[in-house]
């Protein structure tokens, strides 16, 4: 005889006809879990919290530290002391990976291992959905973007050998981008950017669509020259390009550079920090790894998936290269030891909660918000007698000039700070906005000179280019931004700006 089921036993306590619908409700939830385990993709519709909780609780119960009657005599038994910590981690304690690799299954922790595997699979599906259509492998790393990039460089170093010590890098004024190169024991070879309009005026060969603009961009010819400067392809570990960046810097032309790297046999790593949220950037990368060489693409989890800082994704795709070692796999394999599983859990829960539809909705909303921010800021700039920097190829970040905050006697690039009361108005705008609870905007004025070591001195740091121009302010339309935030931002910006210009020009009568 079969044992009675839980529901049959429940039917012995209360009326069976009431138990049935309750049982069906449970079955619907377990079917969701079954569908996830068999499809290995994002659920079409997001799950409710109860379903996510059910899955997570079941998975945690599959780890030995939560077994009933378990005795542990080892040195890593996943014992947790504080109940708050147990709650924060849903009882998970074993993390991810083993000495073998970051994705290796853990004998004592089937649940944690499943969290790790599922998170990687859903991340892959989310990347494909966002527009990185031909992604073939994706690895979630328990570290943020900079450190993940360093791991990619170290993996490439294992493959390329010690002679390849240069990283050819179009300038981005974000210290992490520089430090991920030097902390891997490599030498950055900086490629300077050119300004769209100035570039044009110089009468150089320009085949790009819109040249009369403010964009700072690198040319494939500049990359090629840098590879020569390094002493040829064998001396170059990789070309390290960037897609998502602050205006007026333009995303690097990754497809053209991929072609060049393919021809020259030089690896190519793309820093796509917050680019997953842009269809345009995803498309450019997807094109790149079909037409040329891309060894790895790195993106942040917090900037793209609305989870706390701590994770990054390394991915690759397209046709791959004949004889090319899978860098993504290499990164996982060479990782020393175990790591926190918190990022995997955050991503898994978030992606289940959003579902494919919710993910697509958020991505589409962001594209709309970029339009909204552009429109609102353009009107604001007109009212203030300023203009929006023309940066048509940057799909996330915008710049607005701050010409009226430049003190007349200083002119462009003047150095005599603080001659009047209150300091430099351009700098003040930044701190005043910050004090008015506006975060994320950057004010770029007269950047200083900075020495980041490795024989690299940057002039005008913060502006991506040595030449000093008109100061400007940047703002970004990132995932999750709301209309209301844009409205309030524009209002506070305008008010603050007017306050500063009034203070600056109290006694100058109109001509």
Ligand X SMILES: *Cc1c(COP(=O)(O)O)cnc(C)c1O
Query: Of 143, 494, 191, which Cα lies nearest the Cα of 343?
Result: 143
Does residue 278 belong to the site contacting ligand X (CB under 6 A)? no
Does residue 377 belong to the site contacting ligand X (CB under 6 A)? no
Segment interacting with ligand X, rule: CB under 6 A, options 105-113, 181-189, 268-276, 317-325: 268-276
Calpha distance 306→169 (Å, rounded): 28
Q: Strands 312-317 and 135-141: what pairing?
A: antiparallel
Does residue 276 belong to the site contacting ligand X (CB under 6 A)? no
Calpha distance 477→17 (Å, rounded): 53
CA distances from 9 to 20, 26, 31, 117, 451 (A): 12, 15, 22, 36, 74
The owner of tokens 């009034």 is: 502
Segment interacting with ligand X, rule: CB under 6 A, options 42-50, 87-95, 270-278, 466-474: 270-278
Segment interacting with ligand X, rule: CB under 6 A, options 33-41, 266-274, 322-330, 462-470: 266-274
Does residue 404 belong to the site contacting ligand X (CB under 6 A)? no
Does residue 274 belong to the site contacting ligand X (CB under 6 A)? yes
Find all residues with CB under 8 Å of 27, minimum gap 6, and list them.
Answer: none
Does residue 146 belong to the site contacting ligand X (CB under 6 A)? yes
Based on C-alpha coordinates, what's the Rg of the chain? 27
Does residue 245 belong to the site contacting ligand X (CB under 6 A)? yes
Pick from 177, 186, 443, 478 the residue near ligand X by CB under 6 A.
Answer: 177
Segment interacting with ligand X, rule: CB under 6 A, options 46-54, 232-240, 269-277, 489-497: 269-277
- Which tokens sit at 289? 């790894």
- Which tokens sit at 106? 């853990």
Pick from 194, 242, 288, 350 the residue near ligand X by CB under 6 A.
Answer: 242
Neighbours of 18 (CB within 10 A): 11
Calpha distance 312→127 (Å, rounded): 12
Q: What are phi and psi of 207, to 5 degrees?
A: -100, 0
Does residue 144 belong to the site contacting ligand X (CB under 6 A)? yes
Nearest-approach distance from CB 303 to ligand X, in angstroms: 6
DSSP annotation of 212? S
Q: Which is nearer to ligand X, 42 or 370 (CB)?
A: 370
Does residue 477 belong to the site contacting ligand X (CB under 6 A)? no
Nearest-approach distance from CB 174 to ligand X, in angstroms: 5
Segment interacting with ligand X, rule: CB under 6 A, options 65-73, 143-151, 222-230, 359-367: 143-151
Dihedral sign, Cα of residue 15, residue 19, residue 21, residue 22: positive
Give contact residues for ligand X (rule: CB under 6 A): 144-146, 172, 174, 176-177, 242, 244-245, 271, 273-274, 300
């Amino acid at each position: 005889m079969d044992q009675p089921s839980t529901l049959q036993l429940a039917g012995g306590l209360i009326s069976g006809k009431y138990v049935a619908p309750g049982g069906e409700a449970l079955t619907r939830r377990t079917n969701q879990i079954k569908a996830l385990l068999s499809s290995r993709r994002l659920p079409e519709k997001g799950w409710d919290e109860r379903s996510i909780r059910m899955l997570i609780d079941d998975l945690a119960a599959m780890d030995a530290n939560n077994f009933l009657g378990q005795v542990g005599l080892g040195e890593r038994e996943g014992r947790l002391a504080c109940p708050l910590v147990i709650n924060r981690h849903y009882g998970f304690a074993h993390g991810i990976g083993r000495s073998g690799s970051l994705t290796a299954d853990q004998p004592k922790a089937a649940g944690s291992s499943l969290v790790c595997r599922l998170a990687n699979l859903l991340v892959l599906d989310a990347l494909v959905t966002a527009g990185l259509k031909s992604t073939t492998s994706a690895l979630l790393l328990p570290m943020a973007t900079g450190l993940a990039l360093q791991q990619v460089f170290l993996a490439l170093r294992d493959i390329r050998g010690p002679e390849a010590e240069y990283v050819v890098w179009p300038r981005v004024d974000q210290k992490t981008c520089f430090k991920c190169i030097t902390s891997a024991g490599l030498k950055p070879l900086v490629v300077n950017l050119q300004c769209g309009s100035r570039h044009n005026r110089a009468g150089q060969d320009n085949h790009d669509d819109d040249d009369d603009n403010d964009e700072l961009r690198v040319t494939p010819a500049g990359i090629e020259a840098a590879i020569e400067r390094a002493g040829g392809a064998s001396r170059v570990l990789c070309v390290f390009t960037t897609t998502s960046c602050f205006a007026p810097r333009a995303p690097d032309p990754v497809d053209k550079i991929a072609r060049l790297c393919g021809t020259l046999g030089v690896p190519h790593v793309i820093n796509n920090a917050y680019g997953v949220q842009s269809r345009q950037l995803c498309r450019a990368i997807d094109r790149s790894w079909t037409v040329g060489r891309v060894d790895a693409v790195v993106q942040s989890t917090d900037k793209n998936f609305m989870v706390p800082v701590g994770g990054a994704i390394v991915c690759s795709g397209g046709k791959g290269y004949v004889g090319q070692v899978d860098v993504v796999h290499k990164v996982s394999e060479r990782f020393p030891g175990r790591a926190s599983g918190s990022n995997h859990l955050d991503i898994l829960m978030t992606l289940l909660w959003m579902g494919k539809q919710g993910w697509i909705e958020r991505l589409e909303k962001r594209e709309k918000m970029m339009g909204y921010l552009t429109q609102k800021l353009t009107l604001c700039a007109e009212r203030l007698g300023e203009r929006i920097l023309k940066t048509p190829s940057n799909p996330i970040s915008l710049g607005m000039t701050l010409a009226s905050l430049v003190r007349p006697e200083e002119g462009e690039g003047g150095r005599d700070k603080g001659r009047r009361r209150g300091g430099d108005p351009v700098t003040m705008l930044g701190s005043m906005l910050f004090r008015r609870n506006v975060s994320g905007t950057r004010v770029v004025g007269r950047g200083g000179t900075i020495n980041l070591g490795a024989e690299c001195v940057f002039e005008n740091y913060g502006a991506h280019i040595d030449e000093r121009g008109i100061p400007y302010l940047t703002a970004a339309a990132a995932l999750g931004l709301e209309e209301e935030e844009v409205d309030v931002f524009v209002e506070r910006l305008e008010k603050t700006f007017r306050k500063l210009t009034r203070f600056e020009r109290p006694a100058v009568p109109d001509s």
